[in-house]
């Protein structure tokens, strides 16, 4: 499938951005399955770093009272394949990607990894052409249109992601158990552990049971994904 001018005009309308370098945009929208001399992998690499910074700056300014640990967790819940896939779907990015016939027939236009990579790549093009401020102008409305940017919503994502993962890989859901509760009422601390089947995977601590569960889920995801 080749890019058409009318197709790109629709994409530009959704992004509220007019691309200057059509050759670079073609590269961003070309999957490696097409076996062209170019594909979007290098731009995806750059776009990942750009969006990491853009999201970090947004959270830094919005949550000025939160510490580095909390900010890092919130950023991780937004800067990942699942989140970028959701953003790519919101602008129907799959309709504009150049794929091989076999990849297209195998549902490539709906694959999370493929779409998230392409989303990062087009953000890299905007960065190269117009700079970081223009990336923020384009990206922030898309992000805010798809996600509720508050601490509880963002941190809750770890538990959801872990449950999806364990259901797919193990056919069961994680169980959270309270190990310890300490401190006065105004400054309590909770320690929770995660069990998947008969195995204990991680322990998390926090100022509430929910936060402790999120921390335990985050650590467990890191363990499982690294394996």
Residue-wise pLDDT tens for the chain (227 aa)? 444 434 789 999 999 999 999 999 999 999 999 888 999 999 999 999 999 999 999 999 999 988 888 898 889 889 988 889 999 999 999 999 999 999 888 888 888 889 999 999 999 999 999 999 999 999 999 999 998 887 767 766 688 888 888 988 889 999 999 999 998 776 778 999 999 999 999 999 987 788 888 889 989 998 987 77
DSSP labels, 37-55: S--SHHHHHHHHHHHHHHH
Known catalytic residues are 48, 120
As a whole number of angstroms, the distance between CA 129 and CA 149 comes to 28
Edge-first strand listing for the sheet containing 175-182: 175-182, 189-196, 199-206
CB count in 10 Å sphere of residue 42: 13
Listed in order, strand segments (DSSP E) in 146-210 are: 175-182, 189-196, 199-206
- Triad 40, 24, 4: Cα angle to 5°: 95
Instruction: Report pTM.
Output: 0.69
């Amino acid at each position: 499938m080749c890019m058409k001018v009318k197709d790109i005009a629709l994409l530009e309308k959704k992004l509220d951005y007019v691309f200057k370098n059509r050759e670079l945009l073609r590269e961003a929208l070309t999957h490696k399955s097409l076996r062209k001399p170019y594909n979007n992998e290098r731009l995806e690499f750059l776009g990942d770093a750009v969006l990491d910074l853009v999201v970090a700056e947004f959270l830094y300014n919005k949550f000025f009272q939160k510490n580095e640990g909390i900010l890092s967790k919130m950023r991780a819940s937004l800067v990942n394949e699942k989140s970028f896939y959701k953003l790519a779907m919101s602008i129907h990015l799959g309709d504009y990607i150049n794929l091989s016939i076999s990849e297209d027939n195998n549902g490539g236009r709906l694959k999370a990894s493929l779409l998230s990579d392409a989303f990062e790549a087009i953000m890299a093009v905007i960065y190269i052409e117009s700079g970081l401020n223009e990336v923020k102008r384009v990206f922030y409305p898309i992000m805010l249109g798809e996600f509720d940017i508050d601490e509880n919503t963002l941190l809750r994502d770890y538990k959801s992601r872990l449950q999806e993962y364990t259901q797919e890989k193990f056919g069961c859901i994680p169980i959270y158990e309270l190990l310890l509760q300490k401190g006065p009422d105004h400054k309590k601390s909770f320690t929770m552990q995660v069990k998947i089947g008969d195995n204990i995977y991680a322990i998390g601590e926090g100022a509430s049971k929910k936060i402790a569960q999120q921390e335990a889920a985050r650590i467990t995801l890191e363990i499982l994904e690294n394996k």
